């Protein structure tokens, strides 16, 4: 039976013209980002950077929700207000990354299985008490350099874990974002990506059905169907859009309220252009098509901030413009000419 309250939250998160800001980088990942601007990664510097992002004026015009890392969910801003409480006050829904990362499926494999089911229910109780209303779990599916498809075992186990995760989250009255990511690193073609994405989505929705997950109260966060990073033939935005939408129409049930794409390793501009082309294709798709971008929203801001207080406003302006451009893409109204607004 559909939970109307959860369904309303899911629809609010993905409804045009808004999308989701992914700011759930693990401690190791955010360290790499801060290292790139020669800022030491400490609890304080991580707080300062995320506070810069979330306090951007008018951000809620374009951003419906923010995915947080556990540290940030429990962290106070410089004025003593908890981050989730602040976000809620601005009309932005706080969410939380709940998986515990991916480990090799065996010592001799590069394929990975995402962990984090142990104790998940207890953690969700705490996260919800702190204000989180939705969650995210990421599974990683690789296409290796020889264009061999991922193993059945890797897909099956990751799909099972996504199904179990989603069921536990809904039992705790929260929205699960289901993120099966076919990694774009490699030399594979867009056709290879399409085949693997199709296989993966079929298995994921089989497991969601098996676990009796209410599809009306989830969001799907998939990769786009795209050429591998090192593929000599890079598909055009129009081709990416058509092949992605065709794949989704074949594999994603109409009950799902929305699809919020990850950006993966795409450039900021291509992530926006691809989303825009998809939304230009049709006004009659069964689900909303929006974004849940991390690096593709944050990268200009991080570069401009450079760890300096005097650069905060410039950095925030860059985040606001990048968010607005992706907001425009949710209705197919983005133009490459709009990139001239960017300050870097």
Q: Known catalytic residue: 221?
A: yes
- The CA distances from residue 333 to 66, 166, 327, in Å, are 23, 33, 9
CA distance 241 to 333: 15
State the catalytic residue, choosing from 25, 51, 179, 288. Answer: 179
Number of H helices, E strands in the chain: 12, 10
Residues 6+ apart with CB under 8 A from 227: 184, 188, 189, 190, 193, 233, 234, 235, 240
Beta bridge partners, 180, equal 139
Cβ pair 66, 92 in contact under 8 A: yes
- Quick one: tokens of 240? 């990416």
Which of 203, 221, 277, 324 does the annotation list as catalytic?
Answer: 221
Centre a 10 Å sphere on the Cβ of residue 298 and count the other Cβ atoms it contains: 24
The neighbouring-strand residues paired with 138 are: 179
303 is an active site residue: no
Distance CA 161, CA 139 (A): 9
Phi, psi of 158, deg, nearest 5: -65, -40
In 211-311, alpha helices (H): 237-251, 268-281, 295-305
Cα 232 to chain centroid, rounded:
27
For the annotated catalytic residues, the residue numbers are 179, 221
């Amino acid at each position: 039976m559909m939970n109307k309250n959860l369904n309303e939250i899911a629809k609010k998160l993905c409804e045009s013209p808004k999308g989701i800001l992914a700011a759930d980088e693990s401690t190791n990942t955010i360290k790499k980002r801060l290292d790139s601007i020669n800022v030491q990664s400490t609890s304080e510097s991580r707080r300062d950077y995320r506070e810069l992002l979330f306090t951007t004026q008018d951000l809620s015009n374009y951003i419906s929700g923010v995915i947080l890392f556990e540290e940030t969910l429990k962290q106070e801003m410089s004025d003593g207000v908890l981050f989730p409480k602040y976000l809620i006050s601005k009309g932005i829904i706080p969410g939380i990354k709940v998986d515990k990362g991916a480990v090799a499926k065996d010592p001799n494999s590069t394929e990975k299985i995402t962990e984090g089911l142990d104790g998940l229910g207890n953690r969700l109780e705490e996260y919800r008490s702190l204000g989180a209303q939705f969650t995210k779990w990421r599974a990683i599916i690789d296409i290796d350099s020889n264009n061999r498809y991922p193993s059945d075992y890797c897909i099956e186990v990751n799909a099972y874990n996504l199904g179990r995760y989603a069921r536990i989250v809904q039992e705790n009255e929260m929205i699960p974002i289901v993120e099966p990511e076919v990694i774009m690193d490699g030399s594979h073609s867009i056709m290879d990506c399409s085949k693997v994405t199709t296989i993966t989505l079929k298995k994921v929705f089989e497991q969601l059905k098996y676990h009796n997950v209410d599809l009306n109260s989830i969001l799907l966060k998939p990769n786009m169907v795209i050429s591998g990073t090192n593929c000599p033939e890079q598909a055009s935005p129009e081709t990416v859009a058509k092949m992605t939408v065709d794949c989704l129409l074949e594999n994603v049930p109409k009950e799902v309220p929305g699809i919020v794409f990850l950006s993966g390793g795409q450039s900021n501009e291509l992530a926006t252009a691809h989303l825009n082309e998809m939304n230009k294709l049709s006004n009659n798709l069964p689900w909303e098509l929006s974004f849940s971008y991390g690096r593709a929203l944050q990268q200009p801001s991080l570069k401009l901030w450079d760890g300096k207080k005097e650069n905060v406003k410039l950095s925030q302006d860059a985040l606001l413009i990048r968010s607005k451009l992706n907001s425009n893409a949710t209705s197919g109204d983005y133009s490459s000419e709009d990139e001239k607004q960017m300050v870097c």
